[in-house]
Structure 1
Amino acid sequence: MLVAAAVCPCPPLLVPEVAGAAAPEMDGARAACYDAIGVLAAARPDRLVVVGPAEQPGRGPHPQGAPGSFRGFGADIEVTLGKGDPAPGARDLPPSLAVGAWLLDRTDWSSAPLEGLGVGEPLTRDRCTAAGRELAASARRVALLVMGDGSACRTLKAPGYFDERAAAFDAEAARALGEADLDGLLALDEELAYELKAAGRACWQVLAGAGEGAGLSGRLLYDEAPYGVGYLVAGWS
């Protein structure tokens, strides 16, 4: 059963060495992520799964010890998913899971076994829900670290340019995440999310599937769009 969840954005810019001189602009988001992950530690889970958007070949499960790096973003930084040595033969983590691993390495999250799950952004609502249910049933006490961004169309300089629908989409996502509203998350429109380049939609709907019957409450910790991209942080417990 799902006992806790942390929702964080997944831009590599969260890593100060990637952001460079702009690193202070993400201080608030970074601090909120640390607070959200603290919710996971307090829940003492038997299993932690980091869920994040991924392109091929990064989709699917990633074992504890899977390696990742930020070299492709100009920073010579390596991470592993969880404590211990890199898992031999494991695939490289997609960027979203590498950011999750980086955050976990800087917080007192827990010593529970963990793994990653790369989710294809086009995954349908029904398949997301089914995947979430499977995760929740995989151990007695399951926690999720859910990585994913909101729309990328909040301003003229945003990666997806400006779209007048983006602010309302992000506002509804923020409300649903902050209230742990499963139906609200599942109601997020797949096609609209795709058009707005909202990379977190599928992962948030995996969370909704995992949360069925758990009775968790939520708290929104961060809701900003510093680069024209909606960055949301929430904790569920």
Structure 2
Amino acid sequence: MLVAAAVCPCPPLLVPDIAAGAAPELDAARDACSDALGVLAAARPGLLLVVGPAAEAQSGTYPAGAHGSFRSFGEDLTVRLGEGPGQERQLPPSLCVAAWLLERAHWAASPVEGLAVDDRLAGDRCAAAGREAAARSERVAMLVMGDGSACRTLKAPGYLDARAEGFDREAARALGAADTEALTALDAALAREVKAAGRAPWQVLAGAAEGAGLEGRLLYEDAPYGVGYFVATWS
């Protein structure tokens, strides 16, 4: 059963070594992520499942101890997803950012495993994956990684799309209210068009939280670099 969740953005720029001189620009987001992880630890989960978007080739499960690196982003920095034997397959970027956040927080509250979700996965299949994940343990917590649209400004990675702000507004509202129905209803086609990488992981969370009676709180909402970043807790 899902007992708590934290939603965090997953840009590698959250890692100060990668952001370099721009690192202070995301200090507020990092602080909110730390607060969200504190809520997860307080829930005393038996399993922490980290969920994030990935390309199809990197989708699937990752055991405790799985490792990854930020070499493709110019930094020879390695991370590990909790303690365990791991495997040869490298973590996708979203789970690398999650692993960095957990290492930064000295996570020791429970075992950690990863689930990378194909960012094109249909909403009903995302919800089904969430329900299956929530049944893994009597006390499951989720760290859900994902960004909003990448089309908020002319200089955004996806250029300006007038629909992006509305998409982000509804996503932020649903995440802050733990509104599983609204998250499930997010339009997958629109999410792709505004380059919102969080859609699939958020819908996994919605499936996992069905019937759990969790309350949400939005800790952070902004669009630096023209990309929607949100931090929320469900408990």
Question: Match for residue 96 of structure 1?
Answer: 94
Trace 1:15-54 onto structure 2 (pairs within 5 A): 15-54=15-54
Whether 2:11 is the aligned partner of 1:2: answer no
Unaligned runs of 5+ residues in structure 2 are none
Question: Match for residue 190 of structure 2?
Answer: 192
Deviation at 1:103, TM superposition (A): 0.1
Trace 1:6-155 onto structure 2 (pairs within 5 A): 6-83=6-83, 87=86, 89-155=87-153
Question: Match for residue 220 of structure 1?
Answer: 218
After superposition, the C-alpha distances for 1:101-150 in whole angstroms (9 at most, x for unaligned) are: 00001114443111100100110011001000000011000000000000
Deviation at 1:76, TM superposition (A): 1.3
Whether the aligned pair in 1 keeps the contact of 2:83 and 2:112 (CA below 8 Å) is no
TM-score (norm 1): 0.97
d(CA) in 2 for partners of 1:177 and 1:108?
Answer: 25
Whether the aligned pair in 2 keeps the contact of 1:149 and 1:200 (CA below 8 Å) is yes
Letter in 2 for 1:174: A
Whether the aligned pair in 1 keeps the contact of 2:2 and 2:212 (CA below 8 Å) is yes
Trace 1:155-170 onto structure 2 (pairs within 5 A): 155-170=153-168
After superposition, the C-alpha distances for 1:54-106 in whole angstroms (9 at most, x for unaligned) are: 1143110001110110111011110000135x52x431000000000000011
Whether 2:197 is the aligned partner of 1:233: answer no
Whether the aligned pair in 1 keeps the contact of 2:83 and 2:111 (CA below 8 Å) is no
Whether the aligned pair in 1 keeps the contact of 2:8 and 2:146 (CA below 8 Å) is yes
Unaligned runs of 5+ residues in structure 1 are none
Whether the aligned pair in 1 keeps the contact of 2:47 and 2:137 (CA below 8 Å) is yes
SS in 2 for 1:227: helix
d(CA) in 1 for partners of 2:107 and 2:75?
Answer: 24
SS in 1 for 2:130: helix
Letter in 1 for 2:101: L
SS in 1 for 2:49: strand
SS in 2 for 1:152: coil
RMSD, aligned CA: 1.0
d(CA) in 2 for partners of 1:109 and 1:66?
Answer: 15
d(CA) in 2 for partners of 1:177 and 1:109?
Answer: 23
Whether 2:187 is the aligned partner of 1:177: answer no
* Count of residues in Structure 1 that have an aligned counterpart in Structure 2: 235
